[in-house]
Structure 1
């Protein structure tokens, strides 16, 4: 059971998510996002609540011997260790060379990774990866929780030929310069599929060939409940040039690692070969297909799972889906 502090922190996070989603419905995504980014009081409190929730409650729950929860941070670190340090990327390179031969294209690039690995943590809040020597971290957030994180609206970030910082604000980041980009509990915060695609396309531009986009997104349902939505994510990212090389449905979240293929045609081949009729170029979350009731004055909190902390439309304040997304 969640303690009282956990419930209060979770409730505030939910209220912010729900307010943004409601604003998007009435104002449109661009205007709603701009309005949200300008609300410093909300962003400041959100950052404080998120840091407290993650550091005091989530990680301690994950470390409990009786917990079924998986630490999203540990999952990323463990997979990056296997992929980079233990050179797991070599088997994916070989597979890409095999496919390239079949489709008669020449691979002109090869993986060249930094030491330590350059990691861009988007929506970082408090920079959880700074304690790991294997990473050289650039942590960014709309409203940083501490000084180790720089301020940046990733959706408005310029990707170009240089790194441009203005005091503690990031204006531009050099393309093809990161070994890893992480979206940990980020995409469900962004209110529309179109804006989530913008974020993923920026990650693609920022990653080196062979680099990883690592995504975790909360879901406490069984593995099959939202499987078609997750398969659409895979299809959409493949169209961009990503190959999903690791997927795990943990108790409370989906954990995914996408490799930027050495040649985009290789990932696109998978998208064309395995596209199902229900798949479209979209990155939806289940809440995209729900109606929001007008009365949201009280938002109940799932006391059993940390995934409940991110249910933007909690049970009791959503209707049955009016559109079948599958």
Structure 2
């Protein structure tokens, strides 16, 4: 990795680390986020570093295209190639068992869910989209990578847009409003529109790519998934990609808690994979009459399942790192490898 690329990563990592440090010192997330969102100088540096890293490192060298391709493949398989139909067929079989007196299931809505979905009959073809473009919301979008695909009508939003097709929006603070049936978002790229509200139950897909680790609060990470639930249509997908360069089993327990916590909102995880640097998760927004497993409902009684933790919540490198002097290139390279553990797209081999 060149010095310039290391600089991009260090700029991004510094912002993440600073937010986590401030949050641990006071836990006043609203104040910390307000100060951060009003710091134009820091946001400009962050946006520029993310854009350069995404286009110069992730897309050219590593897994930037891989992340986008994974999202694209999941959407095609789920909406176009029968994936959702198989899931709805399974829902119907489960409903048959439930109606026959099976005690293993609880018929929704999820008693812990703050956002009630619209109940509907489980018609295998009701949400099977063949030729219609998918409404996709890309949250924390750096350079609007989904716009070039014909499958999507993309709305890309970011706290500090780095290109003209991304709309300025603080997803955490944006309101959610119901719009009239059949009405579409009339957004024109380049208008520099500031989105202060997002339509409820409008999108087929919401993407959180490398987003949640940006947020210093485990509870607010979970709340963001709750907001995604509110803006998704029933049977829509929340796609989450989050960095982790550890081997697959090291954080398996933490990923299981993510699954349970996100499903508690009213989602069903339909796809999961782990590669060298990333976790990939696809969650379906389930209908109001979804059948929940009673064993899973027991897990939901744990109030801790309203938090999404990352390893950096529990340990952080000291502030003295920046003053370290390396005796040779090997020491420097080992230090960089360790520092980039929260950033995908770096191959230490």
TM > 0.5 fold call: yes
Find the counterpart in structure 2 of residue 200 from structure 1: 225
| Moved segments of 4+, more than 4 Å | 104-107, 163-167, 267-270, 273-279, 298-307
Q: Does residue 89 of structure 1 match 2:114?
A: no
Q: Does residue 134 of structure 1 match 2:129?
A: no
Find the counterpart in structure 2 of residue 50 from structure 1: 50
Cα deviations by residue, 1:65-103 (Å, 9 ceiling, x for unpaired): xxxx97211111111111112121101111122233334
Shift of 1:125: 1.5
Seen in structure 2, the aligned counterparts of structure 1 residues 122 and 306 have a Cα distance that, compared at 3 Å, is farther
Contact 1:181 1:207 in 2 (8 A): yes
Distance 1:116 1:306 in 2: 40
Q: Does residue 179 of structure 1 match 2:204?
A: yes
Shift of 1:282: 1.9
Cα deviations by residue, 1:223-267 (Å, 9 ceiling, x for unpaired): 110111100111011111111110001111000100111236435
Find the counterpart in structure 2 of residue 228 from structure 1: 253
**Higher mean displacement: 157-166 or 123-132:** 157-166
Find the counterpart in structure 1 of residue 320 from structure 2: 295
Seen in structure 2, the aligned counterparts of structure 1 residues 267 and 171 have a Cα distance that, compared at 3 Å, is farther
Distance 1:268 1:238 in 2: 11
Find the counterpart in structure 1 of residue 174 from structure 2: 157
Distance 1:3 1:73 in 2: 24
Find the counterpart in structure 2 of residue 144 from structure 1: 161
Please point out which of 253, 261, 265 is paired with 2:286: 261
Seen in structure 2, the aligned counterparts of structure 1 residues 32 and 268 have a Cα distance that, compared at 3 Å, is farther
**Higher mean displacement: 236-245 or 285-294:** 285-294
- Unaligned runs of 5+ residues in structure 1 are 64-68, 312-326
Please point out which of 69, 76, 89 is paired with 1:74: 69
Find the counterpart in structure 2 of residue 321 from structure 1: none
Contact 2:136 2:207 in 1 (8 A): yes
Q: Matched residue of 2:247: which SS?
A: coil
Seen in structure 2, the aligned counterparts of structure 1 residues 143 and 74 have a Cα distance that, compared at 3 Å, is same
CA RMSD of aligned residues (A): 2.9
Find the counterpart in structure 2 of residue 310 from structure 1: 343
Seen in structure 2, the aligned counterparts of structure 1 residues 96 and 85 have a Cα distance that, compared at 3 Å, is same
Contact 2:136 2:153 in 1 (8 A): yes
Contact 1:187 1:217 in 2 (8 A): yes
Contact 1:159 1:175 in 2 (8 A): yes
Q: How many residues align?
A: 305
Q: Matched residue of 2:157: which SS?
A: strand
